[in-house]
Structure 1
Amino acid sequence: MHAHCSILCITPPHMLREIAQNGTPVQQEVARKTLMASESFRAKRSAMGGMLAASLAATIIGGKERTIYDAKNGTSLPGVKIRGEGDPASLDPAVNEAYDGSGITYDLYMNAFGRNSIDNNGMKLNSTVHFQKGYDNAFWDGEQMVYGDGDEDLPVDQRLFNRFTKSLDVIAHELTHGVTQYEANLNYYGQPGALNESMSDVFGSLVKQYQHMQTATEADWIIGEGLFTSNVNGVGIRSMKAPGTAYDDPVLGKDPQPAHMSDYVTTIEDNGGVHINSGIPNHAFYVVARELGSFAWEKAGVIWYKALTDKLTKTSSFEDAANLTFQAATELYGSGSLEEQAVRTGWAEVGITIGAPSTNEGCLTSVLRVFGLAGSKR
């Protein structure tokens, strides 16, 4: 198992900071606590290293092995076991949503790509619900899934987030961080980090499409559908079809994602903008899926999966991803194929030309050097 002590969260830090600045006193407090809890748990995981790996992430060769735990609004993991593989449904909807969502994610990876769980070796799918009180996030901690309840304990008119198990693509997004951990293991900073986030969005969206048997045209391409309450002016936390349009709210702010390299955001926050600039490769994948039509997991997804598992490296840039997905399409479907052309079109629409020299040492790295952060990793 790869060493991986970061926790990878679904709610972008810039969104929580907006709430901490613009929300009501109650909303501000919840946002600050969520930010602090994530940092605290990240430090705790880093200190513990992989000590829990043997007990939590053991492999079961042969099929799905899901276990759902309840943290009882605490922070000790995994918590109290509530439901195991094959057990009857719980009276707790969060338990059932985590159980079903991890199962659907397993099914997509197995049926579309022949992958046996997170590590491709039957890894147990462990999830903990009811993490902390008022925790507006969900994360993959390197070994298991963890879900907060959002704002369910706040007055109705103060709620911004529903419980995080309600969104299937959130569940699949976070589990895909585990797949990436065992494959390309993309550094969680700058363009490699944005690719890490994008891979989770891509396969998170594919899991939702697979569950509903939606074609690329029928899909909404929204990440975090159902996560916001009716108090928020937004449809989700990101849009792969139209990055930058998912939400525009007086409390949460406006979706900052770019859809083109000309709008690339240079920042040292959010690990170099991993949740922001992921909009660029996200949109490239959407265009590829749109060009190919039908079910996106059948061709576009297979191309991206091959790139993730066989070609990308820890330091891959957007240009690398463009060239490597093109290479994957060529190997899978042949030179001059429609699939190859779709990949070329997808990346061209976001301002990246297949075959162009890599600009991995671009403006972001220059800025990071000024701050003495070039080459730093989470």
Structure 2
Amino acid sequence: MCQHHSRNPILCLIPPYLLDQIARHGNKAQRDAALSTRAKDSTFRSLRMAAQPTRARAQAATAFVGKRRSIYTADGTETLPGTLVRGEGQPASGDPAVDEAYDGLGATFDFFAEVFDRNSIDDAGLALDATVHFGKGYNNAFWNSAQMVFGDGDGQLFNRFTVALDVIGHELAHGVTEDEAKLMYFNQSGALNESMSDVFGSLIKQYALKQTAETADWLIGEGLFTKKIDGVALRSMKAPGTAFDDKLLGKDPQPGHMDDFVHTFDDNGGVHINSGIPNHAFYQVATRIGGPAWEKAGRIWYDTLRDPRLRPNTGFLRFARISFDVAGRLYGVGEAPQQAVKEGWAAVGIAL
């Protein structure tokens, strides 16, 4: 939910179709939590956040090198950023949400620095701020072009939103995409925007756990659902459409092939739904190449995101063609990585 078409949208983790399902089929407490989350998201969506890009540019201008994390608590209020609880280099606070956010921001910073030689999400040393304990039973997490914000979940359907490292990486990666490509958050370009965050979120988790493409679970948001939900995660890059099948939430609607592309005006043209197609393409490429997915497949996707041919309205086919060219430039025309890219996109119905 909570996204709009402006240059600096509020980019949330939980898709609107899940909140809709809860609002329709949940008990009173669940419906109230879902409707409350939707109301807050709608408010965020209407805000222009005019001051935040200025703040980000001011921080970027310092070109600071190294991590600068600040974790705040809203303490159940909706005031941002809230009260500072833990700053860079300070010891663990004992509050799981605070410490998970601190560690997640650090793991994300380290991944981009060590794998892609990128200095924070804007490549200019942007300080990483996060607020936890936002609102009462807020079932979402979002990036607002200036900081991360995490809800605690309602405790019935969702756990706290700091539990999954890939979720933290996903939201911060929106900042990378915003900085590099400014992909429009609508239709296929919006689905690519969401997919880039899933790709980087999964790679950040794999890098932290030192997993290969073959041993990774390729799940996004594992641990977010409580035991009351019949599901393993929000999304599966390995098998889109299989992450959950629950009497309250319904069945995971993500397609993994262009034959099943969903045409809708909901969810900004299905950005959280159709992202399953490029997600699965990346999985196919990474497993064909083998080994740590961040090394070659991740480099191809990262360089594609930064390619000047990638326009704000880029769709799946254009992204696929650029990624094929990038793979040839990086690893040799006709060599195995480029062939893996061609086969990976073909596996989701996009022929190059």
Q: Normalising by structure 2, what TM-score?
A: 0.95
Root-mean-square deviation (CA), in Å? Answer: 1.4
What is the match of residue 207 of structure 1? 204
What is the match of residue 348 of structure 1? 346
Residues 21-47 of structure 1, C-alpha deviations (whole Å, 9 max, x = no match): 111111011001111101112223446
What is the match of residue 64 of structure 1? 67
Query: Greater shift after overlay, 96-105 or 34-43?
Result: 34-43
Query: AA paired with 1:85?
Result: E
Aligned partner of 2:123 among 108, 120, 125: 120
What is the match of residue 194 of structure 2? 197
Q: Distance in 1 between matches of 2:58 and 2:285?
A: 40
Query: AA paired with 2:341?
Result: V
Q: Distance in 1 between matches of 2:297 and 2:275?
A: 17
What is the match of residue 32 of structure 1? 35
What is the match of residue 185 of structure 1? 182
Q: Quick check: 2:68–2:128 contact (8 Å CA) kept in 1?
A: yes
Q: Distance in 2 between matches of 1:51 and 1:333?
A: 39
Q: Distance in 1 between matches of 2:159 and 2:260?
A: 31
Query: AA paired with 2:99?
Result: N
Aligned partner of 1:328 among 326, 329, 348: 326
Query: Greater shift after overlay, 191-200 or 46-55?
Result: 46-55
Counterparts in 2 of 1:49 and 1:203: CA distance versus 1, 3 Å = closer
Please, which runs of 5 or more residues in structure 2 have no aligned partner?
Answer: 1-5
Query: AA paired with 1:345?
Result: E
Q: Quick check: 2:342–2:351 contact (8 Å CA) kept in 1?
A: yes
What is the match of residue 373 of structure 1? none
Query: Greater shift after overlay, 37-46 or 279-288?
Result: 37-46
Q: Distance in 2 between matches of 1:223 and 1:58?
A: 33
Aligned partner of 2:99 among 96, 101, 104: 96
Q: Quick check: 1:58–1:124 contact (8 Å CA) kept in 2?
A: no
Q: Distance in 1 between matches of 2:56 and 2:229?
A: 38
Counterparts in 2 of 1:231 and 1:56: CA distance versus 1, 3 Å = farther
Query: AA paired with 2:144?
Result: D
Aligned pairs for 1:229-248 (under 5 A) are: 229-248=226-245
Q: Quick check: 1:239–1:246 contact (8 Å CA) kept in 2?
A: yes
Cα displacement (A) at 1:5: 2.9
Q: Secondary structure at the match of 1:89?
A: coil
Cα displacement (A) at 1:336: 0.6
Q: Secondary structure at the match of 2:130?
A: strand
Q: Distance in 2 between matches of 1:290 and 1:238?
A: 18
What is the match of residue 16 of structure 1? 19
Please, which runs of 5 or more residues in structure 1 have no aligned partner?
Answer: 153-158, 355-378
Q: Percent identity?
A: 58
Q: Secondary structure at the match of 2:70?
A: strand
Q: Distance in 2 between matches of 1:43 and 1:56?
A: 25
Cα displacement (A) at 1:75: 1.5
Q: Distance in 2 between matches of 1:57 and 1:144?
A: 14
Query: AA paired with 1:71?
Result: A
What is the match of residue 284 of structure 2? 287
Q: Distance in 2 between matches of 1:57 and 1:136?
A: 31
Counterparts in 2 of 1:14 and 1:265: CA distance versus 1, 3 Å = same
Q: Distance in 2 between matches of 1:134 and 1:189?
A: 28
Query: AA paired with 1:22?
Result: H
Cα displacement (A) at 1:106: 0.8
Aligned partner of 1:131 among 115, 130, 134: 134
Aligned residues: 346
